[in-house]
Structure 1
C-alpha cells in the first residue's frame, strides 16, 4: 500500500496563502498532534504539516517502523507530494535526526529547505542511544516520566499504556539503527533546547553547528526536554523570524 500524504500529514490549521510550509517531525513515542499548538501559533504566516508516524493514534492498525533509513524514505515519499511552496523542517528529539536526514535528501534533489530547526536533539554524530536490553513497562514509564513531557495520567492508565508503549519501544529500536554518513547540510540550522534538559546538554545542542555550511543559531529556553510544551509562542517567534529572513522575494 502506497504511503499517501493523507495518511502521513496533518494540517491542524490549513494556511493555503502562507508563503512557507513547515514540516514537523515528532519525538519518539510522539504523534502529529503534539504540533497542534505550533500550527495555531504560526498561522497564518506559516502552514504546519505535522507528520503522523505509523502505529499511533489514527494509524494504530499499521506496524511501526523499526528502521531509521526506512522511516526516512517513507516519510520523504509521503511528504514530497504535499510540498507546494518553500519548505522548512522542524524536528524534536528523534524528530530532529529525521528532519536532518530529510533535509539531506531534499538538498540532494535540488529542493533544499529554507532552514532546519533541530529541537531537543543531539547532533547526528552523537545521537541518543537507548538501552538495547529488554526493559519492563515500569522502567520505560519511569524513563519517560523523568523527561516530564507526558501527562502522568496517561502513564498511569493501563488502557493508555497499551496504546502508547508499543510505539515508544518501536521508536527506540528505530533510533538504534541510525547511522550518520558524515554529510553536512548547506541550509541554515537552528538548534533549540531547554536549559534543564538532562538528555541533551547545551554542548550537545551547540554541536549541531558542525553539521551545516550555512548559518547557525542556538536558542536556549527555560525548561527540560519538553520545554516546548510551555514555550510554543516563543518557539514560533524564533521560527517566524528565521523564515522571514529566508523566504525568497516575491514568494507567497
Structure 2
C-alpha cells in the first residue's frame, strides 16, 4: 500500500503489477486472519486484503464500533485511499451486509467494485429481526455454537470468553440494528454464495439480493453449514475467479 497503511486493511499479499484486488470482510466476531488460508489458492497477480475491524488481533485495544453504517464508512474510506485497481469484494455473514454497504459508498465516490460476492447472509430487507446483542452471554454463545460447533472449545474457556465476548456482542449489535431507511441497488453485479445446510439464510432470501443489483445474481450452493468456506477454500476461490472470468483475462 502506498503511504501509511490503514489499520482497517491487512495486506495479506500485494504487488506492484497486480491485475486486481480482492478484499474480504469477515463475519461477526471474525478477524482478518480468518481469510489467511486463501493465500495458498489465489493466483499470484491478485492483491489480497482482509478487513480488520477494531477490537481484535492487532486492534484489540481499540474501541469497538457497534454500528454497521459507521464500519462501512471507515472501510470505504480506507479502500478509496488505495491505488486504483479492479476490485472484488467478498463478505461472509455480517461481512456480506458490509460488502453491500461499502459497495454503495465506493460507487457514490465514483470508484465502485467490479463484483460483489455475498456469502451466508440475507439481503438487508429480508433480514429477520433479532436482539441477541441485548441478551445474556449464554444466549449469545449458544447462537454462535448453533452456527459453528467447532468453536465450542474457545467459548468453553473462561479467559477466552471474557476476551472475545465484547467483540462478538458489538458485532451482533451492528448487524442487528442496521436498518437502512433506503436501499439502493448496486451498479456492480452481486453474486450469492450459500451452503446447503445453512439454517441462517434460505434460498428464497438469497434470491432477494436481486432487488439490490441491476444484474441477475448468480446463486451458488456449496456443501456444508454456515461456515462452509472453512472446509473448502479452493472451490470457493475458483468460483469467484470463474464468475469474474478472471477479470476478462486468462481462464482459471
Aligned length: 246
Query: Structure 1 229/210 Cα, relative in aligned 2: closer, same or farther at 3 Å?
Result: same
Unaligned runs of 5+ in 1: none
Residue 150 of structure 1 and its aligned partner are, at CA, apart by 4.8
Cα distance in 1, alignment partners of residues 31 and 125 from structure 2: 25
Query: Structure 1 112/49 Cα, relative in aligned 2: closer, same or farther at 3 Å?
Result: same
Cα distance in 2, alignment partners of residues 149 and 217 from structure 1: 29
Query: Structure 1 196/27 Cα, relative in aligned 2: closer, same or farther at 3 Å?
Result: same
Aligned residue in 2 for 1:220: 221
Aligned residue in 1 for 2:9: 9
Q: Secondary structure at the match of 1:216?
A: coil
Matches within 5 A, 1:105-144: 105-131=105-131, 134-144=134-144
Aligned residue in 1 for 2:202: 201
Q: Secondary structure at the match of 1:7?
A: coil
The answer to whether the 8 Å contact 2:29/2:168 transfers is: yes
Aligned residue in 1 for 2:27: 27
The answer to whether the 8 Å contact 1:13/1:43 transfers is: no
The more displaced of 146-155 and 49-58 is 146-155
Aligned residue in 1 for 2:55: 55
Aligned residue in 2 for 1:89: 89
Higher-RCO chain (CA-CA 8 Å, sequence separation at least 6)? 1
Query: Structure 1 5/233 Cα, relative in aligned 2: closer, same or farther at 3 Å?
Result: same
Aligned residue in 1 for 2:188: 187
Give the TM-score normalised by structure 2: 0.90
Aligned residue in 2 for 1:175: 175
The answer to whether the 8 Å contact 1:42/1:240 transfers is: no
Unaligned runs of 5+ in 2: none
Residue 246 of structure 1 and its aligned partner are, at CA, apart by 3.7
Q: Secondary structure at the match of 1:151?
A: helix
Cα distance in 2, alignment partners of residues 38 and 202 from structure 1: 26
Residue 96 of structure 1 and its aligned partner are, at CA, apart by 0.5
Cα distance in 2, alignment partners of residues 83 and 75 from structure 1: 15
The answer to whether the 8 Å contact 2:133/2:173 transfers is: no
Aligned residue in 2 for 1:231: 232
Once superposed, what is the RMSD of the aligned Cα atoms? 2.0
The answer to whether the 8 Å contact 1:39/1:47 transfers is: no
Cα distance in 2, alignment partners of residues 16 and 133 from structure 1: 42
Cα distance in 1, alignment partners of residues 149 and 72 from structure 2: 24
Residue 15 of structure 1 and its aligned partner are, at CA, apart by 4.1
